[in-house]
């Protein structure tokens, strides 16, 4: 009977293999390296942003005809754009800093609202300035396109988080901040062209108004979508 019940042997059932815990879709064993990469990128972005603020943006907080020059008649719009842009530039790295939203969810939410408002005000002011410029219609279209993309990307990020679409929200916020940084890169690009003495002043502004946001946005999209493609290939 004992042999028929097969109680003489004990079968060892192997323990179930649980999937590795993840942090925002990244396995925890890969998270530290990912976080170091993120911190390095944000650190460089902050250094460039501080240089831009010190050399180009902060001076416009002093509202005077001498400071604003040809922008004097549009000083209110430029002031709004500068103040909103400064807030957006500084809030972005804090929001993306690893562990920020998990450790301080309330602060993350409040700063996110401030960023969206800043992007909306800064984008609207940039759109007005783009179509009231002294540098021609090509510069106007470049700056206006960047402002439009900035508003759209921030708006889609807001809609995504309202609908609890976390991954889409994060990706659209990345795009939004790249476009926020486009205004910094516009000044950096024109400065470099000025140093190497390439083209006339209007040509430098026209070139920078397009290249400062379209190329960074393209690189960002390649990285965002490329990670998905290679992750899917690896899992299969």
163 band by pLDDT with thresholds 50, 70 and 90: very high
33 band by pLDDT with thresholds 50, 70 and 90: low
Q: Which of 16-20, 49-53, 204-208 has the highest mean predicted lDDT (pLDDT)?
A: 204-208
Q: Is the pLDDT of residue 1 over 80?
A: no
The CA angle 149-138-133, to the nearest 5 degrees, is 85
| Residue among 236, 94, 235 at smallest CA distance from 177 | 94
Q: Go through 197-219 and write b for each residue having 16 or more CB atoms within 10 A of its CB, e for each that does not.
A: eeeeeeebbbbbbbebbeebbee
The mean predicted confidence, pLDDT, of the chain is 84
Residue 22 phi, psi dihedral angles, 5° rounding: -125, 160
Average pLDDT over residues 128-146: 91
Bridge partners, residue 23, by sequence: 26
pLDDT in tens, 164-208: 999 999 999 999 999 999 988 998 899 899 999 988 888 999 999
Report the 10 Å Cβ neighbour count for 149.
19
Residue written as tokens 């609207």?
Answer: 124
Bridge-based pairing state of the strands 22-23 and 26-27: antiparallel
Structure tokens at 70: 């040809």
The count of residues in the chain is: 236
Beta strands in the chain (DSSP E): 22-23, 26-27
- Asked if residues 150 and 167 have their Cβ atoms less than 8 Å apart, the reply is no
Report the 10 Å Cβ neighbour count for 139.
21
- How confident is the model at residue 99, as a pLDDT? 82
- Asked if residues 122 and 106 have their Cβ atoms less than 8 Å apart, the reply is no
Percent of the residues in the chain that have a pLDDT greater than 90, as a whole number: 52
- How confident is the model at residue 236, as a pLDDT? 57
């Amino acid at each position: 009977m004992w042999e028929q019940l097969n109680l003489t042997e004990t079968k060892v059932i192997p323990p179930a293999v649980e999937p590795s815990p993840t942090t925002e879709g990244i396995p925890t064993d890969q998270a530290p390296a990912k976080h170091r990469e993120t911190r390095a990128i944000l650190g460089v972005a902050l250094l460039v942003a501080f240089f831009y603020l010190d050399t180009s943006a902060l001076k416009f907080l002093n509202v005077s005809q001498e400071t604003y020059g040809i922008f004097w008649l549009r000083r209110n719009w430029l002031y709004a754009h500068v103040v909103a842009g400064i807030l957006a530039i500084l809030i972005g790295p804090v929001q993306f800093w690893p562990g920020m939203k998990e450790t301080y969810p309330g602060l993350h939410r409040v700063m996110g609202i401030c960023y969206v408002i800043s992007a909306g005000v800064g984008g609207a002011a940039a759109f007005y300035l783009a179509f009231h410029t002294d540098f021609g219609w090509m510069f106007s279209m470049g700056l206006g396109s960047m402002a439009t993309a900035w508003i759209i990307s921030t708006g889609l990020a807001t809609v995504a988080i309202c609908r609890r679409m976390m991954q889409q929200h994060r990706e659209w916020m990345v795009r939004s901040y790249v476009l926020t940084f486009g205004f910094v890169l516009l000044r950096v690009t024109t400065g470099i062209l000025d140093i190497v003495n390439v083209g006339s002043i209007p040509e430098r502004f026209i070139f920078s108004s397009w290249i400062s946001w379209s190329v960074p946005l393209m690189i960002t999209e390649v990285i965002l979508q490329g990670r998905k493609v290679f992750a899917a290939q690896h899992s299969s």
